[in-house]
A and B are shown apart, each in its own frame.
Chain A
Amino acid sequence: MEFEDMKVIWDSQEKAPLYAMNEEGLHDLLRGKGRKFRRLIFWQQWQSYLSSLFVVLVIFAILGAHFLGAFNEPGELAPTTGWDVMALLVAAAYWIQFAVSIYIGQKRQERREREFAGTLLGDVDRDIEQTRYQITTRRNIVTGFIPPYVGACLIQLVVFRSQGLSEWTMVPVIALLIFCLIVESRSQQRLVDQTMHPRLRELETLRAKLTDPES
């Protein structure tokens, strides 16, 4: 049988399609999935921004209380000093930098993804780029988390000091934060090794098969 005969056989299936569609069921499914996906994306994007906003608001509330003289009242809290104010401002700057870097990273990635051609090869290239971006981001997660962690330590330092606690009480807190950072880094590394790298290899193989005429 020649290819032209196969084409005739192929075209004959238009007369009796193999499937029918439950259009209502499909639309329910798509609406449900769409809502779920939009919610997920919304929370993923806003989680970091909201946590940063919360911390910055707390810092400014403390600073506001300082400038209104709340810490000068005789009571349980020690008065804040110029160094405390400086530490809080640096902490706020670190958290703002954290949120801004996430925002800039996302925008850059969106712009890069728009540059890929609207072809199958373009889709593969976009997924390769996305996976590489994920690998780099997850590898550098420790570096990315250092500013908010330092910011958190500075806030803790001011809070501990205002409560009259010794600076040495910060040691277990810092140790705990470092431990959390190491655990997070390890789990991200495991994700990269077990999921991202195999995915990248598969996509690169797919790309090679697509572009190599002999494969």
Chain B
Amino acid sequence: MIQKMTENEQQRLFGEWLKTHKGLFFKVVRAYAFNPHDQEDLFQEIATQVWNSVPNYRGDSKVTTWIYRVALYSAIAWLRKENRHREKLKKIDGYGEALLQASTTRHPRIEWLYDQISQLEPIDRSLTLMMLDGYSYKEISATLGITVSNVGVKLNRIKKRLTEKSNEETHHGI
């Protein structure tokens, strides 16, 4: 029989995940939202979905791939209803900001990379983030639910595109 998780356990586990994998949250936010308001909104959305998903985590997969799956799908779903979210942001402003800008100085190479990612299709952004974070084709395939060969085809195309872009845009100092 499946035991129901208490809210305290949920909070403890979520706190741990947030502490250990906050970089993952930030990368997804940065790849899918492009101004501070949207980033705040998306961060809240991802945090909420990950929080809701905690009781369903059974340990069958790595915590990072679980968080990635939830965060990526939240981001893709958030993109679809962006306008509605803008309205919602006004309503949840009362809670204060959950995401703070840590640094105003941005590394131009990382900025360039995020710019390139932002120009990709939402699904391709998911693949790119996982690829850059060093996940294998097999892990990406298991997280997204598509075949390994499909992942390979898509990633080869993305890699080719990114390489071509970087060669074209030398003025970015890369």
Question: Is B one of A's binding partners?
Answer: yes
A interface, CB within 8 angstroms of B: 1-3, 5-7, 9-10, 12-14, 16-23, 25-30, 32-34, 117-124, 127, 199, 202, 206, 209-215
Given contacts A12-B110, A206-B76, contact A19 B163 (CB under 8 A): no
Q: Check B134 against A210 for contact (C-beta < 8 Å).
A: no
Answer whether residue B37 sits at the interface, using C-beta atoms and an 8 A cutoff. Answer: no
Contact B143 A119 (CB under 8 A): yes
- What separation, in Å, do the CA atoms of A163 and B92 have in the docked complex? 53
> B103 within 8 Å of A by Cβ?
yes
B97 beta carbon closer than 8 Å to chain A: yes
Contacts of A3 on B, CB cut-off 8 Å? 159, 162-163
User: B106 contacts the other chain (Cβ, under 8 Å)?
Assistant: yes
Q: How large is the interface on B (under 10, 10 to 19, 20 to 34, 35 or more residues)?
A: 35 or more
Contact status B26-A18, CB under 8 Å: yes
A28 smallest CB distance to B (angstroms): 6
B105-138 with Cβ < 8 A to chain A? 106-107, 109-110, 113, 121-123, 126, 132-134
Interface residues of B in 10-41 (CB under 8 A from A): 11, 14-15, 18, 22-23, 26-27, 29-30, 39
| Total number of residue pairs linking A and B with CB closer than 8 Å | 144
User: 11 A–B contact pairs at CB < 8 A?
Assistant: A1-B167, A6-B132, A17-B26, A18-B26, A19-B29, A20-B101, A29-B44, A32-B95, A117-B145, A118-B56, A120-B73
Docked Cα-Cα span, A2 to B72, in Å, equals 25
In the complex, chain A residues whose CB is within 8 Å of the CB of B11 = 27
- In contact, B76 and A121 (Cβ under 8 angstroms): no
Q: Chain A interface mostly helix, strand, loop or mixed? A: helix
Tell me, rounded to whole Å, the shortest Cβ–Cβ distance linking B87 to chain A.
15
Given A34-B7, A213-B149, 11 more pairs with CB closer than 8 A:
A7-B134, A13-B107, A16-B107, A18-B101, A19-B29, A33-B92, A120-B143, A121-B144, A209-B123, A210-B144, A213-B153
- Shortest Cβ distance from residue A127 to the other chain B in the assembled complex, whole angstroms: 8
Alpha-carbon distance A17/B150, docked complex (angstroms)? 32
